[in-house]
């Protein structure tokens, strides 16, 4: 099967490339390198012994994107390309609406024109807003709490409407919880450009001495130790989730949570990281981050029942692999 992965050199995309190529898929990547690095192609080659076919293309440029569809007989699309920084989306909402929505519409137009009827979309637990966990796919999705989240909700609705209009079309929306960890080789992982917004890449840089301490955003939530609780899930498990979604897809629209079903607090994650990796993580408790919620973890029964997908890797695996990637990255940067 020939699959196009947009944003395929990013954190999730690179791991999905590895899983799909390992299973014999032919993978084409469209990525404009806005938050990823071209070196990832060589890293994938080191892991798999082959590279995906790469196009440096912005999904917002329809004509450029179309070139890929004219050259390759694309059979499925995994759409990850998009901006994802919450605070930036509040400051610059038009940038987010423009990029995330335009890119998706361009892709769908091309899927329609070239008869591509298998589509997996990268959504987020953020669409649930502040509801009581465990979060279930049947819960109502209301307005997004920020423009980034709103683009995810809008795109879910666009996909659902399109699937109603085209009975041949199959789409699976995957709502990720908090992907962390890295490939066990340490060759690919999360390496955001600039100061990381998310907890794990910030934490590994503190462990690495790049930042003096971790800011923990609030210890007065109604949780086990007052810090925020999230459902951390290993990126390799998430990548495998995309493969089964592609394989088991039926016509029509469907939505699945990808998480472990377990909540972990910030302090619990920090303690696990320290214990497993034997490194110090200095931290300071600071004010809550605006827009954060206390608790978010998944109900994962649907993916387990209908996709036979379950996260296999433990929190210990996640913190070990995240740190291993950081250490390997240090070595690579010296070469
Ligand atoms: C965040 C986004 C979410 C998005 C996801 C994408 C916000 C409010 N939410 O999820 O919409 O889908 O990233 O990856 O940005 N924390 C700290 N110190 C830090 C960073 C985070 O204490 O330096 C805490 C947070 O308060 C939270 C937990 O760590 O309790 C996880 O934060 P993060 O990794 O940013 O993920 P989310 O906020 O769950």
Question: What distance in angstroms lies between residue 274's CA and the mean position of ligand 1's atoms?
Answer: 20
Nearest Cα neighbor of 323 from 278, 288, 292 is: 278
User: Relative to the CA of 202, which ligand 1 atom is closest?
Assistant: 23
Nearest to 154 by CA among 167, 143, 163: 143
Ligand 1 pocket, 122 CB below 6 A? Answer: no
Q: Tell me which residues are annotated as active site.
A: 148
Query: In a 3-state reduction of DSSP, which class is residue 301?
Result: helix
Percent of the chain at pLDDT > 70 equals 99
The model scores a pTM over 0.95: yes
| Whole-number pLDDT of residue 193 | 85
Q: What is the pLDDT of residue 59?
A: 98
For a ligand 1 pocket test, name from 289, 294, 322 the mutation site with the most ligand atoms within 8 angstroms of its C-beta: 289
Checking if the pLDDT of 194 tops 70, the result is yes
Sheet with 264-265, side-by-side order of all strands: 264-265, 229-230, 295-296
pLDDT band at 329 (very low <50, low <70, confident <90, very high): confident
134 CB near ligand 1 (under 6 Å): no
Residue pLDDT, tens place only, 215-250: 999 999 999 999 999 999 999 999 999 999 999 999
Q: Residue 159: which residues within 8 A CB-CB, separation 6 or more?
A: 104, 108, 119, 121, 171, 173, 253
Ligand 1 neighbourhood includes 182 CB (under 6 angstroms): no
pLDDT score at 333: 62
Structural contact between residues 84 and 11, judged by C-beta atoms closer than 8 angstroms: no
Ligand 1 atom nearest to 179, measured from its CA: 14
Locate the ligand 1 atom nearest the alpha carbon of residue 200 and give its number. Answer: 34
pLDDT at 95 over 90: yes
**For residue 56, how far is its CA from the centre of ligand 1 (angstroms)?**
29
What is the spatial distance between Cα 206 and Cα 175, in angstroms, rounded to a whole number?
A: 29
What are the structure tokens assigned to 138, written together?
A: 């049947």
Residue 135: C-alpha distances to residues 121, 145, 174, 304 (Å): 19, 16, 13, 15
Determine the pLDDT at residue 330: 74
Instruction: Among 69-83, 149-163, 197-211, 321-335, name the one with the lowest average pLDDT.
Output: 321-335
Say how far apart CA 232 and CA 200 lie, in whole Å: 10
Q: What is the mean pLDDT of the chain?
A: 96
pLDDT tens for each residue of 34-61 = 999 999 999 999 999 999 999 999 999 9
Pick from 42, 39, 128, 34: nearest CA to 81: 34
In short, whether 99's Cβ falls inside 6 Å of ligand 1 is no
Q: What angle do the packed helices 315-334 and 266-277 form, to 10 degrees?
A: 60
């Amino acid at each position: 099967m020939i699959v196009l992965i947009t944003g395929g050199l990013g954190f999730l995309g690179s791991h999905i490339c590895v899983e799909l190529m390992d299973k014999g898929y032919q993978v084409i990547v469209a990525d404009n390198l806005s938050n990823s690095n071209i070196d990832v192609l060589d890293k994938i080659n080191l892991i798999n012994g082959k590279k995906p076919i790469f196009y440096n293309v912005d999904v917002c440029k329809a004509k450029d994107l179309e070139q890929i569809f004219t050259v390759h007989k694309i059979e499925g699309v995994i759409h990850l390309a998009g901006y994802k920084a919450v605070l930036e989306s509040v400051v610059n909402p038009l940038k987010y609406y423009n990029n995330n929505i335009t890119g998706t519409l361009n892709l769908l137009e091309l899927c329609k024109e070239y008869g591509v009827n298998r589509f997996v979309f990268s959504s987020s637990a953020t669409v649930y807003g502040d509801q009581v966990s465990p979060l279930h796919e049947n819960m109502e999705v209301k307005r997004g709490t920020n423009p980034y989240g709103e683009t995810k909700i809008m795109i879910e609705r666009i996909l659902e409407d399109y699937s109603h209009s085209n009975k041949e079309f199959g789409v699976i929306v995957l709502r990720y919880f908090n992907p962390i960890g890295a490939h066990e080789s340490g060759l690919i992982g999360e390496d955001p450009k600039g100061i990381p917004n998310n907890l794990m890449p910030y934490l590994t840089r503190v462990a690495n001495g790049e930042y003096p301490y971790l800011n923990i955003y609030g210890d007065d939530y109604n949780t086990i130790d007052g810090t925020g609780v999230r459902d951390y899930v290993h990126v390799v498990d998430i990548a495998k989730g995309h493969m089964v979604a592609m394989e088991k897809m039926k016509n029509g629209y469907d939505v699945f949570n990808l998480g472990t079903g377990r909540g972990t607090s910030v302090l619990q994650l920090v303690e696990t990281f320290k214990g497993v990796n034997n490194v110090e993580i200095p931290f300071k408790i600071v004010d809550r981050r605006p827009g954060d919620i206390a608790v978010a973890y998944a109900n994962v029964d649907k993916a387990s029942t209908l996709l036979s997908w379950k996260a296999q890797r433990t929190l210990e695996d996640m913190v070990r692999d995240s740190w291993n990637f950081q250490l390997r990255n240090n070595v690579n940067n010296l070469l």
